[in-house]
Structure 1
Amino acid sequence: MTDFDVGARLKAIRKARKISQRELATQSGVTNGLISLIEGNKSSPSISSLKKILSVFSMSLSDFFDASPTDNRKFAFRFDEMVEINPERVFEGGTEEGLKAVSLRRVGSSFERTLLMLYEIYEPGADTGPELYAHEGEEGGFVIEGEILLQVGESTETLKAGDAYQFESTLPHRFRNIGDKRCVLVSACTPPTF
């Protein structure tokens, strides 16, 4: 995903929605100059800026970074069909090593659905970053194997296989594998704003 053209993707989405750079800037609360710089690949947007811009299109980060066509009628997904989301593009402030140990696979297209489902793998030492992140919606999940330290606001819990979680995604949160074995989660978020 290192060769993903953020500028071309944003421009294509904007033009498909028949919206000008100026209109996009006004609706998203960023400057017209920033939109122009991003589309020209002269500036990389922060996650925060990109989320603001994509909110105008009701598009999640995962859908933005997945330009593959989808089929609304599809209801079963094989593991190798799930789209890998690059965690470095989602979590701010994480270490390169900690983020490389995270694998997020999206089930289907969250752009066409009201529910985002993820198959998540956290290798030992994996961490979504020292900074907690937040987004619109509600999320929950089950720990399938291993254990994960989940921080929501000021509270932390260590969850093990068979345990589950559910919280408002607007609360700052963070996931970290503090164990010596991989941790596998199956999670869902609605609406698909992650």
Structure 2
Amino acid sequence: MDFDTGARLKEERERRRMSQRQLAAVTGVTSGMISLIEQNRTSPSIATLKKILVGLDITLSDFFATPEESGPKWYFRKHELREITPSAKRGEAEGGVNFRQIGRPGASPIQMLHETYAPGADTGPELYSHDAEEAGIVLSGRISVTVGSETQLLEAGDGYLFNSRTPHRFHNPGPEECVVVSACTPPTF
């Protein structure tokens, strides 16, 4: 199923009665970039989309939410994991990063993600932050994690736990794909 990132961004911006310039002023992302994203002429990095969504007061998972079936559910098959990767087409990791969320947005006080980083992929050139705590374990490959001014290269079996209010970034230096399982609470990513 295709997800129209541009149309969804425009819908959320207009719902808040904001112009592209007003949103740019709040987020520090240029109005030209916002326009290109809304036209699906470019796909933002995770860090850029996160900055825009903070300006709209919406989480990444809520941004990519689709109508759900009602009722509680405690298990999820791999095909049911919700992709929350900013890209022009769902299922195609922009820049080699793919995030899949377990469960519905807002259904739990914790957000659990299955993350995949292709060799050379990252969350964007800029560090980003959000109001939460996060932790993760590297299942395979290697990932360079920057938190504040410190960078560590983590390998399979290594983990991390930090305050997400501290600016951070993830980068796979390669040469193989990296898989991480992470959690965030509250679910603000």
**Counterparts in 2 of 1:7 and 1:153: CA distance versus 1, 3 Å:** closer
**Counterparts in 2 of 1:62 and 1:183: CA distance versus 1, 3 Å:** same
CA RMSD of aligned residues (A): 2.9
Q: Post-superposition shift, 1:8?
A: 7.2
**Counterparts in 2 of 1:110 and 1:66: CA distance versus 1, 3 Å:** closer
- Residue type of the partner of 1:76? Y
Identity of aligned residues (%): 42
- Show structure 2 runs of 5+ residues with no match: 27-33, 39-47
| Equivalent residue runs for 1:1-194 within 5 Å | 1=2, 3-4=4-5, 5-6=7-8, 9-10=11-12, 21=16, 47=49, 48-53=51-56, 55=57, 59-88=58-87, 99-194=94-189
> For 1:158-181, what per-residue CA distance to the aligned partner results, in whole angstroms no more than 9, with x for missing partners?
111111100000111111111211
Q: Is the Cα–Cα contact under 8 Å of residues 99 and 127 in structure 1 kept in the other structure?
A: no
**Which structure is larger by alpha-carbon Rg, 1 or 2?**
1
Q: Is the Cα–Cα contact under 8 Å of residues 148 and 166 in structure 2 kept in the other structure?
A: yes
Q: Aligned equivalents of 1:111 and 1:118: distance in 2?
A: 14
Q: Post-superposition shift, 1:64?
A: 1.8
- Show structure 1 runs of 5+ residues with no match: 15-20, 35-40, 90-97
Q: Post-superposition shift, 1:121?
A: 0.6
Q: Is the Cα–Cα contact under 8 Å of residues 136 and 160 in structure 2 kept in the other structure?
A: yes
Q: Post-superposition shift, 1:124?
A: 0.8
